Amino acid sequence: MSDVLLKRLGLLKERVSALTDARGAHDPSADDPLRGLYVSPERVEHLLHGPERAPVRLDDAYGGAEPDDALGELATRFGLTPLDTHILLAALAPDVDRDFEPLYGYLNDDVGRRRASVALALELAGLAPHDPAARARFHPGAPLSAAGLLTLEDAERPLPGRALRVPERVIAHLLGDTRLDGELLGVVELLTGETIASPFASRLGALLAARPTTVYLKGRGTESGTAAEALAAAGLPVLRHDPVYGDRQLVPVLLREARLRGAGLVVGPMPEQTEQAGALVRALESPGTVPVVLFGSAPFDPRWSADGDVLCLDAPPGADDTGPLWAAQLGADAEGFELAAAVAPYRLAPEQIRRAARSARTLAVLDGGPLTAAHVQRGARQQSAPALDRHARRVTPAVGWADLVLPAEPRALLEELVVRARQRERVLGRWGLRAGGGRGHGVVALFAGESGTGKTLAAEVLAGELGVDLYVVELSAVVDKYVGETEKNLERIFADADRTDAVLLFDEADAVFGKRSEVKEASDRYANLESAYLLQRLESFDGIAVLTTNLRANIDDAFTRRLDLVVDFPFPDADQRLALWWQSLARVPCAEDIDPGPCARDFTLAGGSIRGAVVTAAYAAAGRNGRVTTDDLLTGAVREYRKAGRLIVGRDDNS
């Protein structure tokens, strides 16, 4: 407990004692054991003609400022007058020292009312409830009530008789408790630890330190880190709140917590609905008291602000190098692998990096080995937004380069694509090679080839190499017959993908990225509008996307120009088919004399069909409780040929 607060309570108790003695000296019912339970005629006479209150000097009544004076510091932060400070101290006294309860009951002339009333708090300051300046300290707009430091109970009573109560969080703060308010648990996060501020965040932090204000950062999802960096650069603790996890009724509690701590607020992403966003901004505005940094993707509407004092800024692209922060969090544990390459695809805020590092260490302990790049990437993936799960099917990569059978040229292009995905923030951001016109930092590639040649598998390998998840867009849930709905669905996907570290796969992309046509009827014009939207959205995309098609000629040339890479997946030759057969059989129990050579030579199947043939052979072997034989492979190959409607020369139809 604060010694300074105890000292001030001791001085208040002396004042209470003096007032009690003064009451007893003139009150004829002072010794009545039933005093406070009824009003005697003598008591009425005393109330009507009792002595006037002696004036009390409030200035310096509780001593001047002292070191570790939590109450004095609170008074400064909340702009309290000496009378406000006295009222607050009188109101919280019974919550800290139970001796005040019977004393207050006596002074209130009611043994059941053991808290300070408005009249009692003013009487202890030598003031009367009819003093308009004194009554004004209890107005809802006055500092004590407006800041949530004091509540008035017993609304049905006249103001002088209303009891005063100080919220427990305020009392706990004055006693040295640094925990978050219980109402904020689960909806507010206290960010601690050192952070590396970008030049933009440093400049914004200097502004917020000089003039606490409300700032709105418009961007695509990485602004939380920038906002936290700015407040940390201003030398402030940071409270982070996502409006999704709390209602607007908590805003006064949030602002009070920030002022108690001398902290700044990071709030976002802002609601997409204009009415909700405006209500939240107006509730959070606190000019000159708490620096608030809001962020979101929606354009700022000046009508959101009640006083028009919100500073709206475009957040800079997420081009800051987070490598040093990763290294600081993982330290010597990351010496066994190339940390920079492992974390390059992730665009995480500083606090997310800290949580990811803790998760990575926990995963390493669970596996019983040293920390690896896979642990770090799994920890980082846990911090990515899960919003894409609503619009796409998530695939956790379970394959690698060894599972991919390709000629040298397309494989080299895939390796280049990995480099582009890892280094895009450096090249397009810090090196300034991003073109103008609002273009993003995204990497977009087209995989073209016949069905079964490995396009989807390659996308999974790419995601696995980068250490992120693969999201397959279900085009059936995207394309809509109603005008404009397809664009809305795609925008939701792109917006969520911008905020998620993942690879986005548009399978059979020519369904939405097809060629534009000459306008001959109304439907052609609307189809061309969809294509125009996609062209613009691809340019501003910040993530990693792969488009696949069986017919490259169907993709509009304007889309092709905006692609970073086009990878052609050729149909496998005999040697590659043999390698695919052996690869598919790698974990299957086989007969010792099995030979997939004839299948590779005689059946021109792509990789997907070869896998289907091996699955058929495996089921045949499992059905007889044996091993896969060459005949089983031939049966599977024939089955795949027939599924494709292809002619098999020299074989019986029943074979």
Instruction: Name every residue whose Cβ is closer than 8 Å to that of residue 335 and which is 6 or more positions away in sequence.
Output: none
- Comparing 42 with 408, the larger pLDDT belongs to 408
Q: Is the same domain home to 562 and 454?
A: yes
Report yes or no on 286 lying in a domain. yes
Q: Which amino acid is at 559?
A: F
Report yes or no on 274 lying in a domain. yes
Euclidean distance between CA atoms 487 and 506, whole angstroms: 15
**535-562: per-residue pLDDT in tens?**
777 777 888 989 888 877 777 777 777 7
Q: Is the same domain home to 428 and 548?
A: yes
**304-362: per-residue pLDDT in tens?**
888 778 888 887 765 456 777 788 888 888 888 888 888 888 877 777 788 889 999 99
Q: Is the same domain home to 197 and 210?
A: yes
- Percent pLDDT > 90 in the chain is 34
Task: Tell which phi-psi region holds residue 148, choosing left (phi > 0), alpha (psi between -120 and 50) or beta.
Answer: left
Among residues 290, 314, 338, which one ends one of the domains? 314
Q: Is the same domain home to 426 and 564?
A: yes
Give Rg (Cα) of the chain.
36
**159-186: per-residue pLDDT in tens?**
999 999 999 999 999 999 999 999 998 8
Q: What's the average model confidence in pLDDT over 266-271?
A: 86
- pLDDT attached to residue 319: 45
Report yes or no on 652 lying in a domain. no
In the block, residue with structure tokens 């009070």: 256
Q: What's the average model confidence in pLDDT over 512-518?
A: 56
Report yes or no on 390 lying in a domain. no
- pLDDT attached to residue 49: 47
Tokens standing for residue 343: 């974390």
Q: Is the same domain home to 66 and 168?
A: yes
In the block, residue with structure tokens 């009367």: 128
Nearest by Cα to 139 from 62, 75, 87:
87
The total of structural domains in the chain comes to 5
Report yes or no on 651 lying in a domain. no
Q: Is the same domain home to 523 and 583?
A: no
Is-contact 423 429, C-beta < 8 A? no
- pLDDT attached to residue 335: 86
Q: Is the same domain home to 477 and 616?
A: no
Terminal Cα-to-Cα distance of the chain (whole angstroms): 89
Q: Which amino acid is at 280?
A: L
DSSP annotation string for 110-150: -TT--S-BHHHHHHTTT--TT-HHHHGGGSTTSHHHHTTS-
Report yes or no on 613 lying in a domain. yes
- pLDDT attached to residue 514: 58
Whether 632 has a pLDDT exceeding 70, the answer reads: yes
557: domain CATH number?
A: 3.40.50.300
Most confident of the ranges 96-105, 319-328, 339-348, 590-599: 590-599
Largest distance between two CA atoms of the chain: 126
606: domain CATH number?
A: 1.10.8.60
Q: How many CA atoms lie within 13 A of 450 on its CB side?
A: 10
- pLDDT attached to residue 37: 53
- Comparing 655 with 339, the larger pLDDT belongs to 339
The continuous run of DSSP H or E covering 240 comes out as strand 238-241
Report yes or no on 467 lying in a domain. yes
Inter-helix orientation angle 3-26/82-96, to 10°: 90
- pLDDT attached to residue 483: 65
Among residues 569, 602, 626, which one ends one of the domains? 569
Q: What is the mean pLDDT of the chain?
A: 82
Q: Is the same domain home to 561 and 474?
A: yes
Q: Is the same domain home to 563 and 587?
A: no
Instruction: Name every residue whose Cβ is closer than 8 Å to that of residue 402 and which is 6 or more positions away in sequence.
Output: none
Q: Is the same domain home to 142 and 69?
A: yes
Report yes or no on 653 lying in a domain. no
CB atoms under 10 Å from CB of 129, counted, come to: 18
Q: Assign 517 to helix, strand or coil.
A: coil
Q: Is the same domain home to 287 and 414?
A: no
Q: Is the same domain home to 243 and 149?
A: no
- Domain residues for the domain of 445 are 401-569
CB atoms under 10 Å from CB of 563, counted, come to: 16
Give the model's confidence band at 150: pLDDT under 50 very low, under 70 low, under 90 confident, else very high: very high
The reply to whether omega before 158 is within 30° of 0 (cis) is: no
Q: What's the average model confidence in pLDDT over 138-151?
A: 94
- pLDDT attached to residue 654: 46
Among residues 354, 383, 412, which one ends one of the domains? 383
